[in-house]
Amino acid sequence: MRENDLLEKEEIFSKVLRAGRRTYFFDVRATKADDYYITITESKKFTEEDGSFHFKKHKIYLYKEDFAAFTEILGDMTSYVLNHKGEEVISERHQKDFKKEYTAENSDDEITPQVSNFTDIDFDDI
């Protein structure tokens, strides 16, 4: 067994965040010297045409000496995104099962469908 495999086995504390097709695993692990570090793993499920599936995983190792800077930058990044784009999840519009919900600003207003220009063809004339 490789030395890295031994390091990966010592889990101290874990949390899981399920987010659609993605799952995030946050794990506190111990080194041989009994010091702690964090791993963040993103696991994304991919479904094949035949119904089978597989997962792709990406892992980040975060050590104590980087915690403060990482936390500060992550806070800056999340604040920036929320301040500029709000909390609405725009990417949901691109999912196959997305259904747009229409809301009227004024309850007296009706939503009128868009009418497209078309040519009426009588197939008996062809």
Q: What is the pLDDT of residues 47-84, one digit of tens each?
A: 888 988 888 999 999 999 999 999 999 999 999 999 99
On whether the CB atoms of residues 14 and 26 are closer than 8 A, the answer is: yes
- Strand, helix or coil for residue 36: strand
The beta strand positions in the chain, using DSSP E, are 11-19, 22-30, 36-47, 53-63
Q: What is the pLDDT of residue 121?
A: 52
The two counts, helices (H) then strands (E), for the chain are 2, 4
Global pTM reads: 0.60
Query: For position 53, what pLDDT does the model report?
Result: 85
